[in-house]
Structure 1
C-alpha cells in the first residue's frame, strides 16, 4: 500500500493562548508546521483530490483551531491540531507549534512544541478482535479448520464458532460459485491493528489466496469484522467492517459465540433478524436454519 508524506510549513494565525491573564484576551502570532502521512494508492491512479487529504482543508482546520478556543499550553494546542489531522484520515502526524512572542524576559528566537501522534491502527494495545473466516475453493472446510488453528499464532483465542455453510452473495451477472464454509473467531491481540491485518494476509497467502475479482471465489478469506474501541476509515483497514451488518454468514456464527456482541452500537442479534432471507446452514446438520 503506497503511503506518502505531505508537509505544510509556516502556517500562521493570531490566537489568544497562554497562561498569563493578558494572553487570554490579547491575540498573538502562532506558526504551525505539519507533516502527515496518507495512503495515496488510489489518488495517484485517479488524480482525484477526493482520494487523498487536501492540505487546504488541513490549513483551514489549523487556523480555526489557533483562532478558536483558548488553551493555556501550546502543548495542548499541538495535541488538538494533531488529533484534527488524524480525523482527516492521516496515519501519522507531527505538529510543531511556534510561539515567537512568548512572554519571556530574555532574548530568544522562538519557542515551540512538537507533538507526534499515530492513528489507532498503528498503535499496539491489548484489544478484542472479531474475525470472520470463509472459503469456497479447494476443500474449503479444510482451509477454514486449518486457519482456525493458525489464528492462535496471532490471537489469544477466546471462542470460535462451529462451521456454517453459505450460499454465495453475487454481484449482477457474476458467475455462479460453490457454497462457502464460514466461521467467526473472537480473540485478543496486543499487536497494532495494521500488523494484525498483515499477519492475517500472510495466512491467506499461505492458503493460496489470490485477489482477481471482487466478491470472487477464494481459498481463504480472513476479515477483521470489529476491533474493540477502534474505528478506522483507512483505505487498507476499514473497521468496523462496512458490510458485516448485512451478511448472515457473519452474524449467524458471531451471535452463536457472542450473543451480547455489538456492531456499530447495535446488537448482533438485532442485525441478524434483518437478514433471515439469506441462506446459511450449520454444516453438522446439513440443513438450512429457518
Structure 2
C-alpha cells in the first residue's frame, strides 16, 4: 500500500471542535459527508476538500474523522488503495446546494467521471442530512449504501460516535455487523479542522 508524505503533526486522536454556540450560521442543519481519494497526493487532496468545504458560505466543518486506508470496493480491478475520511458539518445550505458544492470541490481537484466506481482524485458524498429523507435521481438521503460499507462506517464512527442512519440503525452496530476487513486506520497521518 502506498503512503502520502505529510508535514502535518501526527495525531492518533480524532480532532473535534465542539461549538454549540456557533453564531455564524442561522438555523443550521447537521450533515455528514464522506471523502475518498485514490489518485495523486491523497492526503493533500482530502485536506484540500476539508478546507474548501469550510470556505463555503453557509457551511462549518464541526468534526473530522481519522484517516483510513481501504481497498477499493466495486468498479475496475487493480485500483490503488483509497484514503477515506468523514466530516460532520453544520450547514444552512439545502441538500441540493450542498451537493452542487460537493461536485464543485471534486471538479476543483480534477475529478473525472468516466468509469463508474473508477479511480478518482476525489469523491465527496453526502451521507446524511438532518431531518431529510430523499430519493431523487441525483441524490438519495441517507446514502443508499453507507450502512453496508466499512470504509464509510469506520470513519463515521470516529467523527460521531452516537451517529445513527435512519432506517438502518446506529453506525457502531452497523460496523460491528459488516466488520472492518480491508479497512486500516492510518495513525501516521491526520486531517485537521480549519483554523
Q: Determine the structure 2 residue equivalent to 1:209.
A: 111
1:165 aligns with 2:69: yes
Secondary structure, in 3 states, of the residue corresponding to 1:169? coil
CA distance in 1, matches of 2:104, 2:81: 24
Q: Determine the structure 1 residue equivalent to 2:28.
A: 126
Superimposed CA distance per residue, residues 67-120 of structure 1 (whole angstroms, 9 cap, x where no aligned partner) = xxxxxxxxxxxxxxxxxxxxxxxxxxxxxxxxxxxxxxxxxxxxxxxxxxxxxx
Q: Determine the structure 2 residue equivalent to 1:137.
A: 39
1:275 aligns with 2:143: no
CA distance in 2, matches of 1:159, 1:256: 9
CA distance in 1, matches of 2:140, 2:27: 18
More strand by share: 1
Residues 146 and 161 (structure 1), Cα distance of their counterparts in 2 relative to 1, 3 Å cut = same
CA distance in 2, matches of 1:152, 1:277: 29
CA distance in 1, matches of 2:129, 2:121: 24
CA distance in 2, matches of 1:224, 1:277: 21
Residues paired across the two proteins, number: 161
Displaced runs of 4 or more, over 3 A: none
CA distance in 2, matches of 1:269, 1:181: 20
The answer (yes or no) to whether the contact 1:125–1:191 under 8 Å persists in 2 is no
Q: Which has the larger Rg?
A: 1
Alignment TM-score, normalising by the size of structure 1: 0.53
**Cα shift at 1:125:** 6.2
CA distance in 1, matches of 2:94, 2:161: 26
More helix by share: 1
Secondary structure, in 3 states, of the residue corresponding to 1:194? helix
The answer (yes or no) to whether the contact 2:154–2:180 under 8 Å persists in 1 is no
1:246 aligns with 2:119: no
CA distance in 1, matches of 2:139, 2:73: 22
CA distance in 2, matches of 1:196, 1:125: 15
CA distance in 1, matches of 2:77, 2:70: 16
Secondary structure, in 3 states, of the residue corresponding to 1:182? strand
| Equivalences for residues 253-272 of structure 1 within 5 A | 253-265=155-167, 266-272=169-175
Q: Determine the structure 1 residue equivalent to 2:17.
A: none
Superposition RMSD on alpha carbons, in Å? Answer: 1.7
CA distance in 1, matches of 2:83, 2:143: 19
| Equivalences for residues 207-246 of structure 1 within 5 A | 207-246=109-148
**Cα shift at 1:282:** 1.2
CA distance in 2, matches of 1:251, 1:277: 9
